[in-house]
Chains A and B, each alone.
Chain A
Amino acid sequence: METGINHFIFISAAMFCIGLYILLTAREAVKVITGLVILFAASILNISAFSGYWNFNPEGQITIYLVTAVCALNILAGIILMIKHYKAYRSNLFDEVKQVE
């Protein structure tokens, strides 16, 4: 079976769904961040497939770098918030969510 752009779309969709599952069911902070990385990787793969599968498309590549920069900064913000929350209250944010549940 010859591969095409549909394969990349299917892989990115599968990655997105599994990443969403990890994000919703994670108990540890590391796993939440890993889920976020997988979600962003799925979106990057999708954009990359549309921008560069047939030929090199600079507009798509620039969009990818914009998305990557925003993703990295968002993940950094999340890590900083979690560390600060831990330092302030000496507890894990996800542990408190579990207690609320």
Chain B
Amino acid sequence: MHDIIIYIFAAITILSVLYIAFSAGVKSTLKSLAIFTPGICGLLIMTNSQLLALIFTLLILITFLISYILEDKVIKLLTVDTGTFAKINIFSLLVISLLTALLTSLFGNTRWPMADIEYSLNTFGMILTKYLPFFIAISLVTSTIIPVLIRIYKTSDTTS
């Protein structure tokens, strides 16, 4: 039963992604993105990442709500439907895909140095001790990117 569920979610994910790749138009892209979300969330739940699946669903839901409320503005700003595809270099695509496969296999075969964490004693209080470096990294990245975004927003207002 477990295997069949994984195959169903994988089929939903891959088919919706393929439909996005070969469909023309914004509405069909957004519809297949809505089908893609339950597929990827099911796969994430299968790998014990329930909270991440919930966050992913909420993010997509908020995006759809915003695009529904501001439909006219968003669609006009973000779309130019020319109906033609750009010419791409297949060789570069192949090289990038091969490098990705190589990196994936390296990640799979490497023995990672594990942090000294006793999983059976994993508590919320460990956020301030064992997990502190990760949260410092996240807060540093966030505190760097958000001011840059605000600066871009403000400076482009003055230039326009």
Say which size band chain B's interface belongs to.
Answer: 35 or more
Cβ contact of A56, chosen from B20, B48, B145, cutoff 8 A: B48
B47 and A24 within 8 A (CB): no
Cβ contact of B160, chosen from A14, A34, A50, A84, cutoff 8 A: A84
Measured between beta carbons, the chain A residues less than 8 angstroms from B2 are 3
* Complex Cα–Cα for A51 and B44 (A): 11
Interface string of A84-95 (1 = CB under 8 A from B): 111110001011
B117 and A24 within 8 A (CB): no
B150 — nearest CB in chain A belongs to which residue? A80
Measured between beta carbons, the chain A residues less than 8 angstroms from B82 are 27, 95, 98
Given contacts A58-B131, A77-B152, A80-B153, contact A24 B26 (CB under 8 A): no
* A residues 45-60 touching B (CB-CB < 8 Å): 45-46, 48-53, 55-59
Interface string of B31-56 (1 = CB under 8 A from A): 00100100010011001110110011
Cβ contact of A11, chosen from B43, B49, B131, cutoff 8 A: B43
* A residues 17-48 touching B (CB-CB < 8 Å): 17-22, 24-31, 33-35, 37-38, 41, 44-46, 48
A14 and B14 within 8 A (CB): yes
Q: Residues of B with Cβ closer than 8 Å to A?
A: 2-3, 6-7, 10, 13-14, 17-18, 20-21, 26, 29-30, 33, 36, 40, 43-44, 47-49, 51-52, 55-56, 59, 77-88, 93, 96-97, 100-101, 104, 107-108, 114-115, 117, 119, 122, 131, 134, 137-138, 141-142, 145-146, 148-149, 152-153, 156-157, 159-160
Q: Residues of A with Cβ closer than 8 Å to B?
A: 1-3, 5, 7-9, 11-22, 24-31, 33-35, 37-38, 41, 44-46, 48-53, 55-59, 61-66, 68-70, 72-74, 76-77, 79-88, 92, 94-95, 97-98, 101
